[in-house]
Structure formats: C-alpha cells, structure tokens
Homo-oligomer: A and B are copies of this chain.
Amino acid sequence: MNPNRFPHILRRHRFTFGALMLFALASPGQANNWQALPDQAPGAGSDTPAQVELGRMLYFDPRMSSTGTVSCNSCHNLMEGGDDSRPTSVGVKGQLGGRNAPTVWNAAFLSVQFWDGRAPSLEEQAKGPPANPIEMGMDSVEAAAARIREIPGYLPYFKAAYGPSARIEPDSIATAIASFERTLITPASPYDRYVKGDESALTPQQQRGMQTFASSGCIACHSGPNFSGPELPAGSGFFQHFPAFPGSPYSAKFDLMADRGRAETSGDKADSHIWRVPGLRNLSYTAPYFHNGRVASLDEAVRVMASTQLNKDLTDDETADIVAFLKALDGPFPRLEMPRLPPARGDLLQ
C-alpha cells in the first residue's frame, strides 16, 4: 500500500485477519462487548435545526442532477432501507452504476464512506454523486452548487443555517446534507433494547443467533455499536479483504472478485479486494447484498460471509439463528416530514 495515497491512520486500522480472529475468539463470553447504538451520531450535537432542515431539502431535491430526476433519495431512499432495492443503482439517463447503493441509515456512525471508504466524511461523500456522470450527472460539484443558486428560494435557508453572509457553494451544500444525515439513525432496535437490559426484546432464537454470531467469528469485523467495526475517529476507516478466502465457491458464483474494491480508485495492487466493513443494521430492508448486489437473500448472504471470510460452512440452524439475530438490528425508523422545495424557473431544466 502506498502511504502517499492513503493517510497513515488507514494502515493503523487495517488489522490482519489473524489479529481480528484473536480479538473475536476472546469476545463471545464478554457480555459487555455488546454495545447499543448511541442516541446521537458523532458530531450531531453541533448541527442546528436550520442546518438539518436545509440538508433535508437538498437531500430530496432532484434538481441537483443534470436532468432534474435524481436526488440523494433516489438511490438512498429513506422511505425504505436507505437504499433502492436494486442490485446496482440507476442514475441520470437510465445509466446503470457498478455498485450496490449502501444504506444511508446510520452511515453517520461510519468513519469513512462508500464501499471502498474513499470519502473520509459524510460531507465529502455528499460531493461525490452530483458530479458522477452516471449518477447525478452534473459537470462538477461547482455546477451542482450553481444549479441550487439558480433556485432563489434556497438562499434564505442557507442564511438561516449559516448566517447572513452564507453562500451557496459545494461546502455549504455538503455540510447541510451531512447534518441531515446525522439525524438518520436507528438506535432503538430490539438488539439495542436487549443490550440496555430488556431481556424480552430478543427471542430465544435471536439470543442464540447472537451467541453464534460471536462464536463463529462474525463479530471479529462486525463489532461495535453499528456492527461495522470499532469506533474510530472520522476519516479512519476499518477495512478488510473480501473475499478473505477467494477459493470459496461463492466467489465465482456471485462474481465477488470482478470489482477490486479500493484498488479501483487507488490503483495500488495492495488495495485489491480491500473493502470498508459495512454495518449490519436494517439488513431486512437492504437486499440485495454485497458491493455488487448479487446475493438476494439474507440467509445466502450469511452463508457467503461464513464461507468467504471465515472459511466455514454454517449449518442451516446456525444460519437461521444468525439471520434471526440480524433481524433484531432492524429499525425502528424515525418519522420523517417531507421538505417543501422552493420552485424553479421554467427554463432551469431542459
């Protein structure tokens, strides 16, 4: 790995698989390793209601795309699992993307964004899709900001959020969207209630699955309150090889090696098949699974992970128990009010 391409901290947190297994094997018996999701995402305390409201508007505004048809919510649909129910997403002009849309729910708990972790923050992530030619299709993030500037009703909201000298520019847009996204958390799942002491919150099968999740080694990578690894400073990233055992029959079956992960953007061979460890909350809502969206069911996703990451074949009972446990990480989702979007000139979109 080229230290000039990625910050040093990334290397610190890319533990070897062996080290993680040791961590995992030490964990199962220790009940206090199970963490509930905090009631507030990192950084949310300094977001103001006006910033969150502006972010909500921008998140849902399709006019930030070249055709006026694709908003953040198009692929990260908050009315559903924070994704789009598709294997890979569709952007402007019907173009098909290359990776599955990761859920935006609880993304605020991840220390890096995108499947390959190439964005160190929600703010930097928000600047990606607008200027991606097959996603929102604007010529640049500056062009996306110019588009928003051309909707005059927005300026008062930027001033309310950032003061009287506020400007509509990529940074203020991205910051507002990130503020909104920090509110998109689901900290009251049955699992969270269980960890906080409500023993009736999980069924016996879910409790069994919880133990199997730990004893099988899943928790080696999927640790922490968001099951996306240890809590790390923003920008750190927690990465793993996937597939760790490329010889798994699932590698070929689901074409798991075609996309080289971080190496696709870094160009560094050492980054081949390195991926950010995703969270496991709300999986009932985010099928299909994995970076290429090739695995349709949660049962199959669990079997794939056991095989490719742990070199294990789970029994049907173990699989069912783990799936039952994972469903205890679902929701509940907060009620969301729709924003009102300011009107646009009739010649804004052609």
Instruction: Show the binding face of A for B, using Cβ within 8 Å.
Output: 60-63, 67-69, 74, 77-81, 84-87, 90, 92-95, 284-289, 293, 295-297, 333, 335-341, 343-350
Contact = CB atoms under 8 A, between A and B. Distances in A.
A296 B94 contact: no
B90 A77 contact: no
A85 B349 contact: yes
Contacts of A338: 78-79, 335-338
Given A60-B79, A338-B78, A339-B79, A68 B86 contact: yes
Nearest to A348: B85
A85 B68 contact: yes
29 contacts: A61-B79, A67-B86, A67-B94, A68-B84, A69-B90, A77-B341, A78-B338, A79-B338, A79-B340, A80-B341, A80-B344, A85-B344, A85-B349, A87-B346, A92-B94, A94-B94, A94-B95, A284-B343, A287-B346, A288-B347, A289-B346, A293-B346, A295-B346, A296-B345, A297-B346, A333-B340, A335-B337, A336-B337, A337-B337
A16 to B, nearest CB: 31
Contacts of A296: 345-347
B349 A87 contact: yes
Among A78, A85, A284, A288, chain B packs the most CB atoms within 10 A around the CB of A85
Contacts of A293: 346
A92 B70 CA distance: 12
Given A69-B74, A90-B67, A337-B338, A346 B288 contact: yes
Contacts of A86: 67-69, 349
A105 to B, nearest CB: 12
A285 B151 CA distance: 11
A78 B253 CA distance: 43
A100 to B, nearest CB: 10
Contacts of A335: 337-338
4 cross-chain pairs, A with B, having the tightest CB-CB distances, nearest first:
A287-B346, A288-B346, A296-B346, A94-B94
Contacts of A346: 87, 287-289, 293, 295-297
Given A85-B348, A289-B346, 8 more contacts: A69-B86, A80-B343, A81-B343, A85-B344, A86-B349, A87-B349, A287-B346, A295-B346
